[in-house]
C-alpha cells in the first residue's frame, strides 16, 4: 500500500512504483534524493547556474510526465540523467554555442595546438586533496569548448560508448573520437597548467 510507504527509507524502485500510481510525495522524495546529481549534470554541460537550475527543473517535470515509460532497465537516477542530458543538448543547440565557438571547431578540423603539444604527465593528484582536485577539474572543464566538454562529460562521467555519444550529439563516431582526443589532451594541458600556476604562487 502506498499510504504505508516510509518515504525516507524506501528504495528508489519502491518510490518509483508509488509515483507511477500517482503518489506525488514519493516523487518528491526521488527529487530530493537525486536533485543534486541532475543539477550537476546540467551544470557540467551548460556552465550556467540559472540555465542548469531551469533545465533540471524541466527534467523533473518531464520525468513525472513520462514516469510510466520507465521500465527499470537502468536505475532511476540514470534514466533521469538521460532526460536532463537530452534537454541540455537541445538547449545548447538552441543557444547556437556551436557557431560562436567556431575557432575551436576550426582547430578541431585542422589539428589545433593540442596536436603539437608535447605529451604530458599531468599527475595533478600529487599532493592534492580530493576536493581541491575536483575544483581544478571544474575550472579546466569551464575552459573547454561546448563540443569538447560535452563529449568528455558523456564519455568520462556517463561512461557512454562512442556510438551512443555520436547518436546523442548527432555526429559521426569519427567526430566523437576526434573531439574526445583533443578534449583529453586539452584537459591534460589545462590541469598541468593550473598545477604550474599554483606552484608559482
Partner 1 sequence: MNTRDMHLKVQAYLDNELSPAEARKVGTWISSNPEGRDLFNELKETREILMQNEPVLKLPESRDFFWSKIEREIAAAERLPAEPEPRPWWTRLLAPLAGTVALFALLFSLVDRGSGHMDLSQSHDAAPLHQLEGAPDVSTITFRSEAEGVTVVWLSTQ
Instruction: List interacting residues with partner 1 (CB under 8 A).
Output: 24, 28, 31-32, 35-36, 39-40, 43-44, 49, 53, 56-58, 60-61, 64-65, 111, 115, 119-125, 130, 133-135, 137-138, 141, 152, 155-157, 159, 161-162, 177-178, 180-181, 184-185, 187-188, 191
- The whole-angstrom separation of Cα 64 and Cα 167 is 25
Question: Which residues lie below 8 Å from residue 166, measured CB to CB, with a gap of 6+?
Answer: 172, 173, 175, 176
- State which residue, 1 or 121, has the beta carbon closest to partner 1: 121
- State which residue, 24 or 99, has the beta carbon closest to partner 1: 24
Are 107 and 113 within 8 A, CB to CB?
Answer: yes
In the complex, minimum distance from the CB of residue 89 to partner 1, in angstroms, rounded to a whole number: 19
In the complex, minimum distance from the CB of residue 196 to partner 1, in angstroms, rounded to a whole number: 16
Q: DSSP H helical segments within 47-119, as ranges? A: 49-65, 76-95, 97-100, 102-110, 113-116
Rounded to 10 degrees, the C-alpha dihedral 188/192/193/195 comes to 140
Question: Which residues lie below 8 Å from residue 9, measured CB to CB, with a gap of 6+?
Answer: none
Question: Which residues lie below 8 Å from residue 99, measured CB to CB, with a gap of 6+?
Answer: none
- State which residue, 92 or 175, has the beta carbon closest to partner 1: 175
- State which residue, 22 or 100, has the beta carbon closest to partner 1: 22
In the complex, minimum distance from the CB of residue 131 to partner 1, in angstroms, rounded to a whole number: 8
In the complex, minimum distance from the CB of residue 180 to partner 1, in angstroms, rounded to a whole number: 7
- State which residue, 92 or 183, has the beta carbon closest to partner 1: 183
Which residue is listed with cell 569538447? 148
In the complex, minimum distance from the CB of residue 96 to partner 1, in angstroms, rounded to a whole number: 25
Amino acid at each position: 500500500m502506498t499510504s504505508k510507504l516510509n518515504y525516507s527509507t524506501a528504495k528508489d524502485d519502491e518510490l518509483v512504483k508509488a509515483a507511477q500510481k500517482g503518489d506525488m510525495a514519493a516523487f518528491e522524495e526521488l527529487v530530493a534524493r537525486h536533485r543534486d546529481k541532475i543539477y550537476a549534470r546540467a551544470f557540467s554541460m551548460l556552465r550556467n547556474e540559472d540555465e542548469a537550475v531551469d533545465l533540471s527543473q524541466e527534467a523533473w517535470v518531464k520525468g513525472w510526465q513520462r514516469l510510466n515509460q520507465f521500465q527499470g532497465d537502468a536505475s532511476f537516477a540514470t534514466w533521469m540523467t538521460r532526460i536532463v542530458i537530452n534537454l541540455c543538448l537541445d538547449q545548447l543547440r538552441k543557444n547556437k554555442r556551436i557557431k560562436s565557438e567556431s575557432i575551436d571547431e576550426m582547430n578541431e578540423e585542422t589539428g589545433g595546438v593540442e596536436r603539437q603539444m608535447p605529451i604530458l604527465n599531468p599527475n595533478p593528484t600529487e599532493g592534492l586533496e580530493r576536493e581541491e582536485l575536483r575544483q581544478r577539474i571544474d575550472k579546466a572543464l569551464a575552459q573547454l569548448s561546448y563540443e569538447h566538454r560535452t563529449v568528455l562529460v558523456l564519455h568520462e562521467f556517463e561512461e557512454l560508448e562512442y556510438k551512443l555519444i555520436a547518436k546523442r550529439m548527432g555526429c559521426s563516431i569519427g567526430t566523437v573520437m576526434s573531439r574526445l582526443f583533443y578534449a583529453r589532451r586539452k584537459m591534460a594541458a589545462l590541469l598541468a597548467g593550473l598545477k604550474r600556476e599554483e606552484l608559482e604562487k
